[in-house]
Structures are given as structure tokens and as C-alpha cells.
Structure 1
Amino acid sequence: MPLYKTIAVNANTTIWIWKIEESYEELLRGIIPTEKCLQRVGSMKSDIHRRGFLSVRQLLKIAGYEAEALFYDANGKPHLRDGKHISISHSFQFSAIIVSDFPVGIDVEKQREKITIIADKFVDYEFSYLNESELVRKLTVIWCAKESMYKVFAAPGMSFKEHTRVIPFDLGENETTAWIHFKGEVRKYRIPFLEFEGFSCAYAIQKCEV
């Protein structure tokens, strides 16, 4: 069972990260997917997406939840039936969940050169402190930060480029701060981040809750 990493963020919040090395059949073992889960995974054309989906169900099991404990609202945001908050991410061979008493978001992304090509779609203010040094890694952290904030805020119409800001950070600090400014609302978040095996992971915790 390749549980890759467990992070106890605080007394109320835990992260579990899975490295996807098993086959689809191996990932089915020990879990009881709902009929809806099986229909959803059956509709996926990519093998890595199918295995990513099942690896999340394995992480849920480690966190103490059966598949039926997870449901999605009309906006596609995941929820747990016991009232705790959850966020989910998977990218290539890694998946992650974060479970907390408070609203939280998490994102995992592979560090790839192509992010420099699409940077102007999600970066505005951050260009003021970015340079060629460690550009791919920093852009990946910025994307993860913005995606994790979006997963907490979950407001249709919010733009990463126009409505989010990530303050300057050093990769060795493993944490930054970011804001959402959207329709008169201002939210400030702690954004801890980590890197492993060519991947970045960031998670968002609203400042007033820590």
C-alpha cells in the first residue's frame, strides 16, 4: 500500500498523499465503491485517471471513510457526510486528500515546462517577482496555491488571474500567503507547500482559522 506521506497540519487537519503504483484491479481491493463510483470510473478513458480516482478511495479508507461517505454538490465540490471538510487532488502518479474541521483546499501538480506557456492565463501580479530562476517550480507552486484557494472559495466566475494574489516567496520557506478579492469579498489564506519527485503540492487554510 503506497501511502506516500501523511501530514498532520494541526489538531483538526490532516493530509494523506498516495503514490499510484498499482493496477486498477489492485486498487479495487479492500474498498467498496458505490454504484455511482463504478459508473464514474467506468466512463473515464484514461487508465491513470481511473487509477487516480480509485487511489483517492484508498485514501478515504485510510482516513476512516467508506466511499459512500463522500458526495459532490452541484458545483462539483466534494463533501463528507459527517460534516468535516475535504479537498481532493490527483496528478499523474500522485493523489492527495485533506480533511479538516474547517474549509480547506489542496492541489498537486507535476512540474512541467509547459506551465511557462500558459502562465499569462493565471498570473498577473506575480510576474512582478518572477524571473528565470526556478521559474517552472515557482509557477507550479503559484498554480497549486490558486487552485487550492479556489477549491475553498468555490465561487463560479472567479478568475485566477484577476481575483487572486500570491505574495513573493522563496522555495525554501515552504509557505506563502495569498488573497482572493472577488465581488467585494477579501479572503486571506496561509499557503504551505512542499515538493517531491518533480511534483508540487500546496494547501490553503483561511487565516482567521489558524
Structure 2
Amino acid sequence: MAIAYRQRIDEDTEFALWKIEEQAEDLYKQLQLNDEEKAFVENISNGKRHLHWLGTRVLLRKMLRTEEYIDCRVDGHGKPYLVSLPYHISLSHSFDYAAVMISKKNPVGIDIEQIKQKVERIASRFLRPVELAFINNEHKIQQLYACWCVKEAVYKCHGQKEVSFMDDILIKPFSFTEQGQVNAILNKGDINIDYTVGYLQYEDYMIGYVRGNDEE
């Protein structure tokens, strides 16, 4: 399967989606892995988690356009990074899709989620009353997912643990369309960062994506 969707944000930043239709063996053959990574893959060699890990790495290779080994690691906060290539990266996955965002200059964050009714039951756990107040009943489920993906993208872009979706990330009011931008503020302790976050409904999935600031 080729890249299903690709969007360029600027000359240095883009994201893409990969629909995972291959078997794990087919994805595995497209990768170069070291011994530690091979052991990790063998450890998760069942189910969607296996396919998601492989799918995001295959997509990363396609976006970086390289046949060389990619040393992709995770820092102490769980944020992925490249050891020897000059890119910031963010990875996400949900059911049949993998998502990757890259940038040469800025930290990035991306999240993809399949849209399901269950989000309504947990909305009050990640949105403040002032945020719930602007949710439109006509597109309630989609807008709630947009809010979740926006906050997840900001969280991944900032790349630090102990950030609360409810208490530390505030979304400014917005009207839902199938693709748009929202303003979100990360405010925690001495940190106060304004983000402009994009969101996109793709089939029955919602994607949130953000390019961070140079000072992060």
C-alpha cells in the first residue's frame, strides 16, 4: 500500500497517513532493524500493536526517502527522536492507519483516532466546562474528537510528561468543519505557549497536527 494521504505544512514540515493493509511480514521486509529492535518486534508479534509499530516505521522511511538504517529512539518522556538525521518526528496510529509528521526545524506533534461514539462519555475528563460550552450538537462527536486530537498533538509536540489535558491545555472556541485550525494554549508553571493546531477529518478518522515553536 502506498501513502494514503499527505499534507505539506511548509517547506520543512509535512505529515502523511499509511493505510496498513499488509501482513506484518511484508512490513518487516521493508525495514532495517538492529538487534534490540528485532527483539522488541518479536516481543509484540501479535495483533494491532505489532502492525502499528511496523507501519509507523515503514511510513517514516518513505517520508525520509532513505534506504539507510534509521536510528529511531524514544527519550525519557516517551517522545521519539532520530539519532543521526536532522528531523523532528511524531508518530501515531489507530486501527488501520499509521501517521507520521516530520520537520527539519521545529518540534511536531500528530495524533490520529478513529471516530467513535464513546468519546461523549469521557469528554468531561479532558475538556473544561468552558470548552464543553462551545461544542456544537450538530457535529458533537467529530468536534469532541477534534478537541482530543488537538490536545494530544500539543502534548506530543511539547514532549514532556505530567501535562494534563484538562488542567494544562486550553482550546479556544471554534466552529467545527471537516478541516480547520484552532488555537490552543499550554499553561503549566512557568510554561505558557500558544499553538495553532490543525485538524482534519479523513474518512472515519480524526487527525490533529501541530508544528511547534523554535524556543521549545
TM-score, with normalisation over the residues of structure 1?
A: 0.92
Contact in 1 for aligned 2:108/2:212 (Cα 8 Å): yes
Unaligned runs of 5+ in 2: none
* Residue of structure 2 in register with 1:75 after alignment: 77
Q: List structure 1 segments (4+ residues) > 4 angstroms apart after TM superposition.
A: none
Rounded to whole Å, the distance in 2 between the matches of 1:139 and 1:111 is 9
* Residue of structure 1 in register with 2:119 after alignment: 115
Rounded to whole Å, the distance in 2 between the matches of 1:75 and 1:207 is 19
Post-superposition offset of 1:170: 2.4
DSSP-derived class of the 2:145 partner: helix
Post-superposition offset of 1:49: 1.3
Q: Which moved more, 1:34-43 or 1:181-190?
A: 34-43
DSSP-derived class of the 1:63 partner: helix
Unaligned runs of 5+ in 1: none
Matches within 5 A, 1:1-210: 1-44=1-44, 46-64=46-64, 65=66, 66=68, 68-81=70-83, 82-100=85-103, 101-124=105-128, 125-172=130-177, 174-206=180-212
Superposed CA deviations along residues 28-60 of structure 1, whole A, max 9, x for unmatched, are 122212222222222226511111111111112
The number of aligned residues is 209
- Taking only the aligned residue pairs, the percentage that are identical comes to 28
Post-superposition offset of 1:207: 6.0
Q: 1:154 to 1:103 in 2, by over 3 A?
A: same
DSSP-derived class of the 1:143 partner: helix
Rounded to whole Å, the distance in 1 between the matches of 2:94 and 2:69 is 20
Q: 1:112 to 1:45 in 2, by over 3 A?
A: farther
Contact in 1 for aligned 2:158/2:212 (Cα 8 Å): no
Rounded to whole Å, the distance in 1 between the matches of 2:46 and 2:126 is 26
Q: CA RMSD in A?
A: 1.8
